[in-house]
Structure 1
Amino acid sequence: MADATHPGEPHGASLGQRLNWLRAGVLGANDGIVSVASLVVGVAGATTDTPALLLAGVAGLVGGAISMALGEYVSVSSQRDSERALIAKERRELAEMPEAEFEELTELYRARGLSDDTARQVARELTDHDALSAHLEVELHLDADDLVNPWHAAVSSAISFTLGALLPLLAILLPPPEWRVPVTFIAVLVALALTGSVSAQLGGASKGRAAVRLVIGGAIALVATWAIGTLLGTTVV
């Protein structure tokens, strides 16, 4: 009889965590696209000076990537601290009141549809094998050996933001001055439609609706910053 699981195939919490990281990467790229595009389009509305555009774009890219990494590191560190506290609490309860914890585990399996005898037998075998892991999985949906990593989150956020930010930066610098803003608008809106579709697919939502939301939001941001840049540039001149 073939094994129901396959080596290397993600299951359960591991699969969910990978999807969450992938979704976070897509959202980080989306942030990089919108924030840097808004910045360089705003500057482009005030001036066609290439060094000024380059400086603004690179500053936005570096500052945004660091901000994203720091925010993700702090957020995930807090989550990991909470997970560790829950694990310590569960370990303490197992040491201080093992029988009550056993009954709790039995009740959890009974609530999942197992008969009383089967639930008690499953709870007993899992407790004998690894009581802490059994309780963490059923009660808290945690794996003590697979906690979230704040460094991984920080690095992945910085990389995804940077990759997203490179698109509007190149789009504003490479074309001739008269084509810079239109090319950036088109490139950014197409990219937002793609990231919206991907994030929606990962979350099981409507791809079209998500893409339209992002495109409209991105278009509003670009128009607003370009108008402000044009107004301020004209005022200064």
Structure 2
Amino acid sequence: MNNKAIQTEIDAHYLYEQLASHEEDPTIAYVYRQMSAIEKSHAEAFAKKQNLDLGQLLKPSWRARTLNLIGKVFGYDYVLGSLMNTEKSISNAVITNIKKSGEELRGTETTHVNILRSILEKQSKVTGMQLSKFESRHRSVGGNAIRAAVLGGNDGLVSNFSLVMGVAGATAGGSEVLLAGIAGLLAGALSMALGEWISVKSSQELYENQMTIEMEEVKANPEGEMKEIALIYIAKGIPEAQAYQMASDIMKDTGAAHEILVREELGINAEELKGSALQAAVYSFILFSIGAIIPLAPFLFATGLKSIILSVIFSALGLFLIGSAITLFTGKNLWFSGFRQVLFGLIAAAITFGIGKLIGVSVS
């Protein structure tokens, strides 16, 4: 287990503490505190094994602090959405380390979804409604909104950077670049917005129809649906008697029962369907435009070689920032991810610039 993996454990310990401190439901807050303690114990164990001073390591990384700041601004569902992805990498790292050392797996190396469920089972006062609420939070995809923002900006920057460099190569940075760049920005942003609107709207219409059918089944055959919910929990490892009691509790609230069946049977997250297709389209348009304006900006006040050089510098900085932002979700090294993004973006722009140069010479 290297220092990077230990830092991942420490970051998870820190973020679960933050989730617990901002959680209103005492049962779920308790689970988060237990998760935080487990992460800290992992970090302590690995640090001791390597004779490291954990006191010097027990500081959250910039990534964890940034995620916490995002949570304060946009809500902690965003933090949970990203943290759930981290759980898998922690589990895999632990399992790999144990296998390399020749030790036997103890069964505690699995993802925290199972650990959380075990903690809940040990709490005698946990009801079906509480477990339903926790699982709803656990499945949160809040982090995806931030990921979409980063990727939307990246699409706009890379596509328009390549277009601008292609035209610049053909015209030596002439005024035609500005016209082509604006056209590329508008065309790309409108295309992204329309695609996002169609995607969200069609998904909503399909899922709403399936959810309506499921609600009709809940009302028409409540006993059968209660058995289905119980079987779902039994399949998750919950004892049969407890599973049926939880299912019975849940069926007292038709809405809660419907939500669980929709999520477990249909694989639909009802929270995602509350989003506005128009709002998604507008956000997509704005995010793409922000990225696309970066390589185009120098041509608003300069021409020729100067504008080309400035465009490359602006775009490289933008690419590095995007690559760095991606590490919020991947946990990779900031410098590696940032410079990798710059490299790929510059290669794409160099290719289109070269093609534009060849076409320009040919036309001349």
TM-score (norm 2): 0.58
The yes-or-no answer on 1:199 pairing with 2:326 is yes
The yes-or-no answer on 1:186 pairing with 2:313 is yes
Aligned residues of 1:72 and 1:154 also touching (Cα < 8 A): yes
Describe the superposition over 1:130-179 as per-residue Cα deviations: whole angstroms up to 9, x where unpaired.
Answer: 23133234443523695343222211110000111111111344345222
Distance 1:26 1:15, change over 3 A: farther
Match of 1:101 in 2: 225
The yes-or-no answer on 1:228 pairing with 2:355 is yes
**Higher-RCO chain (CA-CA 8 Å, sequence separation at least 6):** 1
Among candidates 63, 74, 79, match of residue 198 of structure 2: 74
Amino acid at match of 1:184: S
Runs of 4+, deviation exceeding 6 Å: none
Match of 1:20 in 2: 144
Please, which moves more after superposition, 119-128 or 82-91? 82-91
Match of 1:39 in 2: 163
Please, which moves more after superposition, 163-172 or 143-152? 143-152
Amino acid at match of 2:361: T
Report the Cα distance in structure 2 between the residues aligned to 1:26 and 1:172, rounded to whole angstroms: 24
Please, which moves more after superposition, 204-213 or 35-44? 204-213
Q: Percent identity?
A: 35
The yes-or-no answer on 1:161 pairing with 2:285 is no
Match of 2:301 in 1: 174
Match of 2:90 in 1: none
The yes-or-no answer on 1:149 pairing with 2:276 is yes
Among candidates 241, 244, 268, match of residue 117 of structure 1: 241
Match of 2:261 in 1: 135
Aligned residues of 1:53 and 1:173 also touching (Cα < 8 A): no
Aligned residues of 1:13 and 1:141 also touching (Cα < 8 A): no
Describe the superposition over 1:45-85 as per-residue Cα deviations: whole angstroms up to 9, x where unpaired.
Answer: 12246531221111011111100101111122222223213
Aligned residues of 1:50 and 1:173 also touching (Cα < 8 A): no
Distance 1:162 1:109, change over 3 A: same
Report the Cα distance in structure 2 between the residues aligned to 1:205 and 1:135, rounded to whole angstroms: 36
Amino acid at match of 1:136: V
Pairs aligned (count): 235
Match of 2:89 in 1: none
Structure 1: any 5+ residue segments left out of the alignment? none
Tell me how large the CA RMSD over aligned residues is.
Answer: 2.7
Amino acid at match of 1:152: Q
Amino acid at match of 2:216: R
Report the Cα distance in structure 1 between the residues aligned to 2:162 and 2:296, rounded to whole angstroms: 10
Report the Cα distance in structure 1 between the residues aligned to 2:295 and 2:319, rounded to whole angstroms: 11
Amino acid at match of 1:35: S
Among candidates 85, 89, 101, match of residue 209 of structure 2: 85
Describe the superposition over 1:98-131 as per-residue Cα deviations: whole angstroms up to 9, x where unpaired.
Answer: 2221111011122233222221111111111223
Please, which moves more after superposition, 138-147 or 72-81? 138-147
TM-score (norm 1): 0.86
Report the Cα distance in structure 2 between the residues aligned to 1:134 and 1:53, rounded to whole angstroms: 54
Describe the superposition over 1:164-195 as per-residue Cα deviations: whole angstroms up to 9, x where unpaired.
Answer: 11111113443452222222222212211221
Please, which moves more after superposition, 70-79 or 132-141? 132-141
Report the Cα distance in structure 2 between the residues aligned to 1:155 and 1:15, rounded to whole angstroms: 26
Please, which moves more after superposition, 216-225 or 48-57? 48-57
Distance 1:203 1:154, change over 3 A: farther
Report the Cα distance in structure 2 between the residues aligned to 1:159 and 1:80, rounded to whole angstroms: 22
Match of 2:154 in 1: 30
Tell me the CA shift for residue 200 of structure 1: 3.3
Report the Cα distance in structure 1 between the residues aligned to 2:326 and 2:304, rounded to whole angstroms: 33
